[in-house]
Structures are given as C-alpha cells and as structure tokens.
Structure 1
Amino acid sequence: MEKRKVGVLGGGQLGRMLIEAANRLNIQVNVLDIDKSPAKQISSHDGHITGSFKDAKKVKELAESSDVVTVEIEHVDTQMLEEVSKDVVVEPSWNTLRIIKDKFAQKEYLKEHSIAVAESLDLEGKADGDQALRDVGREFGYPFMLKSKTEAYDGKGNFAVMTEEDVPAAIKSLGARPLYAEKWADFKMELAVMVVKTKDGVLTFPTVETVHEDSICKLTYAPPRGVERATQTRAQELAKKAIAAFEGKGVFGVEMFLLKDDSLVVNEIAPRPHNSGHYTIEACKISQYQAHLRAILDIPIVPEGLELIQPSIMLNILGGQTTDSHEKIASLALEKTTASVHLYGKGDARPGRKMGHITLLASTMAEAERQIQPLIDAVDNQKGKPLGPKSIPQEEPLVAVIMGSDSDLPTLRAGLEILTKLDIPFTTRITSAHRTPDWLREFSKNAVNTSVKVIIGAAGGAAHLPGMCASWTTLPVIGVPVKATHLDGVDSLYSMTQMPLGEPVATVGINNSTNGALLAVRILGASDERIRERLRLWMEGNEKEVLRKDKALLDQGWEVYLKGMGK
C-alpha cells in the first residue's frame, strides 16, 4: 500500500480518533491545530503544524506537507482550500464544505436536489429583526427554530422560539449572527446514518437512533429502538441520496427526523466523521474513522465491514460540576461493565463539554440498556440533574411461542418452563391459521423486525399454523404437533413434517414441547456463548439426575425402587 500523508484541519477528539485508526494502517496524519490538542497528544512526529485551522497561511503550509487534505470540522477557510486544491487533493471538495458550513445554503441545496428538509426562511439582512421573527411566527406558527447560518454546533447558534414572548430573548441571544428560521419538526425520533462516499459509489453504516439533551447528542442506539427495518432502510436510502448530491469522498454524518407520520426529513449534514458514528469503533468491523481514511485514499472498503456486529449503545461523557467528573464516569464504567471507554485528553471538565464517550455492546438491546443505565444515572448526577424513578427495561423476547388455540397451552407448559429455567425471554401469542389468517400473516411477516430469533408453533388437527408461519418469515420455525381428539396427533405430525420443498419446519415429537424449547435454545446458543453455557449446565444436571437414579436402582434393587415410584 502506497504511503501517503493525510493533512487534517482540526485536532480535537475527531482528529484523535482518526489518528487512532490511521496508526493501525501506518498512515501519517499531519494535524493543523494548537499544540497539545487531543489529536497531537497521541501522535509524535514533526509533520504537525501549530496554528489555527482558519489561518490561510497555515492551511497552505499543511497542504504543502500532505498528499490529501481533509477536515475534522467544517468551519474552515474554504477560500484557501479552493486555492490549495490546485496542488493537493482536498476531500471532501472545498465546494461541498462551503455549502455545508452555511446551514441555510445546505438546506437550499438539498431542496434543489429533491431531498426532504424542514421549511425555512432566510432572515439575513432584515433591518428589524424583532418584526422579522414575529412575521415568521405568523407564517410558521409557534414554536419554530431560529438558527445561525454559520458557526453553529452542539446547540450553539440555535434558539427555540416557543411563543411570541420569546422573540426578544431570541434576538438578544443570536441577533448578531446571520440567521434563518426553520419550521418546527414534530418528530417522534431523531435518526442518523453515517455515509461513506468512495470513488466507486455510496455506502452506509446502519441507521441509529440519537437522543439529544440541551441540543447535544447524549446517546446513540444501534439499531434504533422500535423502528421497523423498512424504515431503517428508507433512512439509509435518503442519506445516500443526500450525500450523492455533493462532491468529494469521505464519511458524512446525516442527521434526520422521523416524523409522527413515519416520513423522514434531513435535519443536518456533517461533511466528516460525526458523534453519532462513534459506536462504529467497537460495533462494526470498520469504524467510521477507518472508513473515512479508506475513502479519501481510495483503499478498498468491503460493505459487510460496515454492518453492525451486535446491538450497541454509545453514551457521551459530558463535563459535570467538577473538573474530574469525566474520570469518575470512566472509572465507574471500567469497574462495572464490559463497556469500551474513550477519553479525549481535554484536561479539566467543564459543564456540557464533550470529554469522552462509552460504547457498550450486548446480545440484545434490552440487555445493553440495563447495563448502561447506571452510567446514564451517573452522568446525570454529575451534571446536577435530579434522578427520577427509572423504568427497568424489559427483556426483549428471543423466542415467540404461538398456538392455534388456548387449548394448546397445557401441552406447551413443559417447554415454557424450560425456557424460563434457562432464562430465555419469550412471548406467547394465540393466532390461528384458519380463524385468524390475516393476524398470523401480519405476525409472521413482522417477527423478523423484532428481537425474536426463533418461532415455536403448536397446533393440532390439520396443524397448518407453523407451516403457514414459515412461509411468511425467514426465521427458523419449530413445530410442536398437539395430540387432538382424533388420530392421536399423528395427523398433526404428518402435516408439519410433510412441508413443501423450500418451506422447512423443524418438527419435534407429538406433545413434546420440551424438545421444541430445547431446540430453540440450541439455535440461539449457536451465536450466544452464554446461552450455550446455561444449556450445558442444565444438561449436566440431567446427567447427574440419571446417575443418581441409576445408583438408587442398583442399591435398592428393582422391586424396592419400583415401590418408591408408587407402582
């Protein structure tokens, strides 16, 4: 691999994590920023430049010592980047940076390319700002957002105008900036997608849910909670379409709103790695930082490397009321969880300052939520935020046990007891292949979009339930034939085992819900070592019980033993 030097405008935490990724690929990163910036702390060579990334002379100096120039922050001198682009590759394009750094221009550009965004109005140059905002209130209604076109990030440069009485405060807060107004987005969730634009096309990381507090990203959930896979895919396609409209290569963060009618609108775009993509360092085989380097240096990216390995939650460590608040949170995370801790080397904490982040992976989102909740509480406590009662996340079901009638429940009892004993979360539902075919179809088709990994279907008589379910899902389906009034359950057994080619149902013995449950556990255990271990211990218990009975039979003789069995 040809060795090339990457110049980066900005040396904060994003630059620091970019260097961590670059070091693994033996790529030299030259940083333009103040001495001892977070990025420079972990990279010792003479290629760094001391100064401001807004200083044109320093930008030129960086360009002269680099093969490719990229940015850690978009608030840079794009005029100088345009000039140096004649001699050095700038990724993404200076023109893209110029558009995106002006948030109103960014929105207008997206609209020109048929990307859904919130409606906005330009307020720059309005002589009477107070009257201009009242006019916006009449046109958009309240609330609406007042935003600075430039130099706005982490809530700085934004003001929520809730009522007409807020207008004077909004003017006082942002009146000296170039402004625009944006119609209020009545969203039910904020989503984000990290997009990778390469010489060969546009790729995406998974869709994630972001939770903001005081306009700063606090949490990222991958995958998003309670969002159908089709919606996640729509978000990825919208993000790809948006980034395809811009020039240049690299990683882009696309933040969007999922509105209450399930439509999506783009909120903002970052032309660089982004806070909402930190989770990728542990949760994906290729992180957003490595992807950015590969994209701008034309190093191949295997799309599968961008897929999610396990459900994950990223928690930002924000500065609290003490200068060492971040260190206390990090220590707690290391003591109590298997979470990965990243501290940014920023020195003393200040309230609201991003000091680091924590990423926690687990086999299920519910498990990740339970593990990270004490850390969320600790972060809130450090900020002086009162802690209210916390709801304990319920375990998401891994197995769905469906039956054609509640009369099948006694047969299923033994299997349900096994699942309970082995600590396998499950859900039980009644859905008949003949009496509620539409409900069965809906349940079966949607199961793959939930936490469920295996379906157990019990039915008697014609016993079409598991077979119909299998025809509508890609999840494994286990059939439990139930002994009905006639034919002793053989009819149910034949119905389940004689499935057409291409529609398998793993059928166990008649009324044998125990084996149905154990087969489900083995399927889950194939990808979860902890479940395999619980099953192993259970099986050891069975072995010990058989050996105990064998010894008792040997010691007592068969006649005494038989009497003890009540026969």
Structure 2
Amino acid sequence: MDRKVGVLGGGQLGRMLAEAANRLNIKIIALDKEGAPTKQITAHPDHVTGSFKDPAAIRKLAELSDVLTIEIEHVDVEILQEIEKTTPVHPSPKSIKIIQDKYHQKEVLISHKVPVAESIALDSEKDLPRVAGEFGYPFMLKARTDAYDGRGNYVVRQLSDFAKAFAALGERKLYAERWAPFTMELAVMVIRTSNGTLAFPTVETVHENSICKLVYAPARGVSSAISQQAQDLAKKAVDCFDGKGIYAVEMFLLPDNTLLVNEIAPRPHNSGHYTIEGCYMSQYEAHLHAILDLPIPERRLRLREPSIMLNILGGKTADAHLELANQALARDGTVHLYGKGDGSLGRKMGHITVTAPTMAEAEAQVQPLIQIFDKVVSGTAISDSSDAKSSLSPLVAVLMGSDSDLPTMNAGIQILQKFNIPHTVRVTSAHRTPEFMAKFAAEAVNKGIKVIIAGAGGAAHLPGMVASHTTLPVIGVPVKGSVLDGVDSLYSIVQMPRGVPVATVGIGNSTNAALLAARIIGVGDDRIQRQVEEFAQGNADESLAKDAKLQEMGSDAYLEGMAKKK
C-alpha cells in the first residue's frame, strides 16, 4: 500500500495498530516519547518525539504523513482543525472535541435521540444537594474531561461523600449522572467508512475497580434480539459524529432489557482486543481500512469462535504481571505484552485472549488465569493453579415438568456426568410456569447451551413448547404416568406439527436422550466425540464378553447364573 499513517500517541493501541499495518506495507509514524510501545516494533527514523498535545510536534507529524489518526483522544484539537485543511484527520477534530467532554458528548447523543443516563452539569460542590434531591442515592460524579479507566469517576452514596468526591476529582469541570441499575455492561466496536457504518459483534465487559478485566465475545446470556439492538444503537450513536475509523460504544443493559449508551471512544479500544484472534478482521485492521478507504467485507467482522479477553494488569512488584503471562502461555492462551517495562499496580501491561469452539470450553481455559489475575492484583503469592476448579457454562439443559419426573431423567443425567458434559437441570412446566419456560428456552442459545432435553408425562407439552421458543435441538423424553403407560406422552411428543421438530426417544429412555445430545455436541467437540466412541466401544466389548461367556458355559448354565443375579 505504501501509505503513511501518523498516529498521535504511541501506546499499546498504536503498537497493535502497527502490527496490523505491517502486513499491508502501511507505515506507522508515532508521535510520543522515545521508546514508546509503538516505536519499539516499528524501527524507522521518521517517528516524532514529543507530546501529542504539542502543536509543533503535531505539525511535524502531519508533514510526514498521508493521513492522521489518534490512539488517545486527549490531544490538541485546535491544531488538528488547522491541519485537516491540508492533511486528512480521522476521526474529525470536531468529533474528537465533542467526545473529549463527556457531558457535551451526552448532549449530542440526546439531540439525536440516543438513550443515555440523565446528567446535570455542575458548577461547584454546592450543586450536589440539588442533584441528590433529584437523582437520589447513589449517583455518579464524573469529570467531563481527561477521564479514563475509572479515573475521573466517583460513586456518591451519601451526604458525607460530597467533600470526598470533589477532593478526589480535583479542579476539573464535573457533571452528575443518574445511577443506571444495569444488569450487564455491553460494548460494540463500530466502523465508520465512506460507504456507511458497520459493527463487530456485541460483547460483554466485566469491570473491577472501574478497569476492564474481562471481555466475553459473544455476550453471555444475551438474546440475539438484544445483541442486534445493541449493534443498531451503537451504529446510531456513532453516526452522530463525523470522521472515518473505529469507535467503541459502551452500554448498560437494564433489567427491562433496554439499553443506555454510557460513553464513546473515537479510537481502538480495550473491549475490541478480542478481535485480533476472535474475528476474521481485527479492530486495528478495520480502522486502517476505514481511514484509507480500503474495502471491509462485512462477513470479516464475524466471530471465528467464542473468545474471552483477560487484561494483564500490573501487581505490587515490577514483574508480577509476567507470571500471569507465563501461565497463559502454558494454557493455550494468546499473550500480548505491551512493552511498558516495569509494572505498577493496576497498570495495563498486556492482555490474553482465549478462543474455543464453545464458550464453556473458553471459560474452562480462562478460569485458572482469572484466579492468577486476582492474586497478581492483590499481591497474593501465586501457587500452581493447574488444578483450579472452574464453573463451566452448561452445554445441555435437562428440563422436566415436575420433580416427579426426576427418577426417569436421572439415567440421562448420569450419562452427562459420565461424559463430563456441563449441564443444568431445571423444573419448568409448559402449563404452570409458561413465562419462565418460554424465557429460558429463548435465552438458552445465548447462554451457550447446545441441546435441550425435555421430559414430560401426560399431555407432555413441554418438549414441543420449548422447541417453539428456540432454534436449538430439543430431545423429548416421554415419561410413564399413572395411566396409559406413557403412550399418551409418546404420541404427544412425537406428533409435532411440521416445522417444529422434536427428536423423541422411547418411553422413559433418558439414557438415549443424553447419548443423542452428546452425539450432537460431539460434531463440533472432539473430546465429547471421543467419549461417545469410547462408550460405544464399551457396549461392544460388553456384548462380546457376554457372547464368549455364553459359548463357554452353555445356555442352561448361563440362564441359571442370570437367575442367581436376580
């Protein structure tokens, strides 16, 4: 391509941008201090040494570049507005200026009917009683500018917090924000191009101490409808601003499944690191393609497979974070270190990405690393975590209309336990708890469940009703009742109308239901497929052993032995 992209900032985001640029012969020229992470992997003499807020240094960078972009939004916007008359700047300096002021950012979003938490601009500490009267407790006190990774945020829980909050946030302009009682934090990376707006998948972000700790792609327990709603809202929010490139949109998911936009970053973002291994195109590639008008096939923004990103933070010693990196290398995690030298407590030193065919497998891989992360951050001594237990997301849901069905379903549950297949067992009725049943079935696919086994007796509507609320395979188990010996249940389950399939096993045969579930999952899971093969071989070996014994003893003696066993 032989294009020159000037980047204001040379930290880890610029470093990963340079990694993507190298493959396309795109030259990254960074403006930052000597030895900055970006400069470490792009050895050429054109890098500019200085501050990304220094007008002279920015002008020099522009002279060397075909296009300017940013990896941090806290830059001198005024000089960029001057430079864009001769050198393209993306995103536009006007947009960067708006986004720099988080309160002004929200004003623009509101003017475009993008839902955000209600906010009030503050002049002084004297305004807080009025805010408390209007918002109640708790509420957020936030710095309007120069805030990131939780720096510039303070939770006000009571009257006595007023002075502490103002002391913590310094002399910056502040605003108060109504508390959002979210159930989950979501994020979407959005790309603005000359031809429109595109979006990566919706992800779940987990924060501790206001710093992003984990990113789950796709978001767990979120329906496809909500995921699409989040992508649409993120694109609508980004379309409020000018300029090509990648934008991060952070959102709150509320208990009623509505969404609020929290804030926007006009650059690559921590919540998009997973795209390097998890998608066919990374956020860094997408950013370069967008600002240089290169094509972005939308299919390349899809997930390759479920992915989890875990940040590597500094601990209480300079090299504490390296233990987490080393443990990840031994556990099939992809490690990215940022070249920042010695670590300090809470500083982002790198990240780890784990990918797997299922979210449950990815969670199993990352769980020991999370435990090591917690020890690094707390300063606790790290021991061998190879045997750390993890809580895995279920791959199979075993449902029954009543607990009286459990004795019938238990044989299948034992098969799942034997195969070490993560599963959940629930009681829900198509007639007594129809809303819960419908909600569970509809959300199952986004929770990582692959197969549902549903046992029911009598009218046996549960398997069919579950199948009508999900696209997952459903296996029905007819349960023998007090009348008709379960034939009524068999007919009810097997005679589903065309278009709503339910696989049906024999009356009371939950063993076959579990084996069929294992075979379905085994198509994409080598471990479970091997378990199925070993089980089948075990059955064959058992049958051959019985035949050999029969040949040896003769039928009369064999029958006598069978009678004694009874």
- After TM superposition, the score normalised by the length of structure 2 is 0.88
Q: After superposition, what is the alpha-carbon deviation per residue over 1:164-207, rounded to whole angstroms, capped at 9, x for unaligned?
A: 43444444444432333333434343322222222232222222
Which residue of 469, 475, 478 corresponds with 2:475? 478
Cα distance in 1 between the residues matched to 2:373 and 2:413: 39
Which of the numbers 505, 527, 530 marks the counterpart of 2:527? 530
SS where residue 566 of structure 1 aligns? helix
Q: Does 1:299 align with 2:298?
A: no
- In structure 1, which of residues 309, 313, 317 is the aligned counterpart of residue 308 of structure 2? 313
Paired with 1:484 and 1:191, the residues of 2 have a C-alpha distance of 46
- Displacement of 1:229 in angstroms is 4.2
**1:173–1:537 distance in 2 versus 1, CA, 3 Å:** same
CA-to-aligned-CA distance 1:33-87 (integer Å, 9 cap, x gap): 2222101111223442222222223222322332222110111122222222222
Query: Could you say which residue in structure 2 is the equivalent of 1:86?
Result: 85
- Counterpart of 1:402 (choices 380, 399, 402) is 399
- Cα separation, 1, equivalents of 2:373 and 2:432: 52
Match of residue 341 from structure 1: 335
Name the structure 2 match of 1:223. 218
Report the equivalent of 2:281: 286
Q: How far is 1:342 from its partner?
A: 1.2
The residue type paired with residue 281 of structure 1 is: I
Which residue of the other structure, out of 546, 549, 552, is the alignment partner of 2:549? 552
Structure 2 CA distance for aligned equivalents of residues 37 and 320 of structure 1: 21
**Is residue 223–residue 442 contact of structure 2 (8 Å, CA) maintained in 1?**
no
Q: Which range moved further: 230-239 or 10-19? A: 230-239
Q: Which residue of 2 aligns with 1:327?
A: 322
1:96-495 matches, cutoff 5 A: 96-123=95-122, 126=123, 129-335=124-330, 337-365=331-359, 367-384=361-378, 394-404=391-401, 408-431=405-428, 440-459=437-456, 463-482=460-479, 492-495=489-492
CA contact (8 A) 1:32 1:52 kept: yes
Which stretch of structure 1 is more off in the superposition, 312-321 or 373-382? 373-382
Contact 1:364–1:396 (CA under 8 A) maintained in structure 2: no
Distance in 2 (alpha carbons) for counterparts of 1:379 and 1:416: 34
Letter of the 1:540 partner, please give it.
Answer: Q
Equivalents in 1 of 2:165, 2:441: separation in Å?
51
In structure 2, relative to structure 1, the CA distance for the partners of 1:10 and 1:496 (3 Å cut) is: same
SS at match of 1:563: helix
Q: What amino acid is aligned across from residue 71 of structure 1 in structure 2?
A: I
Change (3 A) 1:228 1:559: same
Is the contact made by 1:194 and 1:204 (CA closer than 8 Å) also made in structure 2?
yes
Partner of 1:206, secondary structure, is coil
CA–CA separation in structure 2 for the residues paired with 1:139 and 1:364 = 46
Count of paired positions: 559
What's the CA shift for 1:344?
Answer: 0.4
Distance 2:367 2:452 in 1: 30
Q: CA–CA distance in 1 between the matches of 2:85 and 2:109? A: 27
Distance 1:511 1:263, change over 3 A: closer
Cα distance per residue 1:5-32 (max 9 Å; x no partner): 2221111000111112222333322222
In structure 2, C-alpha distance between the alignment counterparts of 1:414 and 1:31, rounded to whole Å? 63
In 1, the alpha carbon distance for the partners of 2:553 and 2:422 equals 41
Please, which moves more after superposition, 196-205 or 99-108? 196-205
Does the CA-based 8 Å contact 1:444-1:473 persist in structure 2?
Answer: yes
What is the letter of the counterpart of residue 25 of structure 1? L
Rate the CA distance shift 1:444–1:108 in 2: closer, same or farther, 3 A.
Answer: closer
Q: d(CA) in 1 for partners of 2:333 and 2:6?
A: 32
Answer with 19-28 or 375-384: which moved more.
375-384
Structure 2 Cα separation of the partners of residues 174 and 485 of structure 1? 70
Q: Is the 8 A contact 1:193 1:236 kept in 2?
A: yes
Deviations 1:520-545 (A, max 9, x none): 11111112122112222222222322
Tell me the CA shift for residue 482 of structure 1: 4.7
Report the secondary structure of 1:89's partner residue: coil
Percent identity between the aligned chains?
A: 60
Structure 2 CA distance for aligned equivalents of residues 140 and 393 of structure 1: 40
| C-alpha distance in 1 between matches for 2:540 and 2:456 | 31
Residues 409-453 of structure 1: per-residue CA shift (max 9 Å, x gap) = 444343332222112233334455566656554444343343322
Aligned ranges for residues 505-520 of structure 1 at < 5 Å? 505-520=502-517
Closer, same or farther: CA 76–497 of 1 in aligned 2, 3 Å:
same
Q: Determine helix, strand or coil for the equivalent of 2:140.
A: strand
- Whether the 8 Å contact between 1:320 and 1:379 is mirrored in structure 2 is no
Change over 3 Å in CA distance of 1:435–1:82 after alignment to 2: closer
Native 8 Å contact 1:445 1:472 kept in 2: yes
Could you tell me how far apart the structure 1 residues matched to 2:419 and 2:165 are? 57
Q: Distance in 2 between matches of 1:444 and 1:6?
A: 49
How far residue 274 of structure 1 moved from its aligned partner, in angstroms, is 0.7
Q: 1-side partners of 2:157 and 2:148: how far apart?
A: 20
**Alpha-carbon distance in structure 2 between the residues aligned to 1:434 and 1:369:** 35
Structure 1 residues 490 and 382: alpha-carbon distance in aligned structure 2, compared to 1, 3 A threshold: closer
Which consecutive unaligned segments of at least 5 residues does structure 1 have?
A: none
Change (3 A) 1:332 1:440: closer
